[in-house]
Amino acid sequence: MTLSDEIQTFLVSQIEYYTEEAKSYKEMAREYNIDDGSAQDTAFGIIIGCIYSSFLQIFTNQNSVPNSQEMEEFTEIIIKNSKKIKEAITAET
């Protein structure tokens, strides 16, 4: 793996945070009068976007950009955790 342990740990913490807050993002999507199915998809997109933004910020802070292998690893981490994120969004409170 190319991603450092620090970056991997950070991404896992971001996924955990956004999974715990998934309902808030679903509610945010509903505020825009999006139907429930679309609200779930929108919330998923917002969460992935936030995690991606955080990932890029790590590199920006180091005056760097992720290379293609690092991007591929990021994508793999997201794919691996996508079911968990989606389940958090669809879970009833």
Among all chains, which residue has been given the structure tokens 């991007």? Answer: 71
| pTM passes above 0.85 | yes
46, 47, 54, 53: which is closest to 18 by C-alpha? 47
Per-residue pLDDT band at 2 (split at 50, 70, 90): confident
- What pLDDT shows up at residue 36? 64
Tens digits of residue pLDDT in 26-64: 998 888 866 666 889 999 999 999 999 999 999 999 999
- What pLDDT shows up at residue 34? 66
Mean pLDDT of the region 10-34:
91
1 vs 5: CA distance, rounded Å: 9
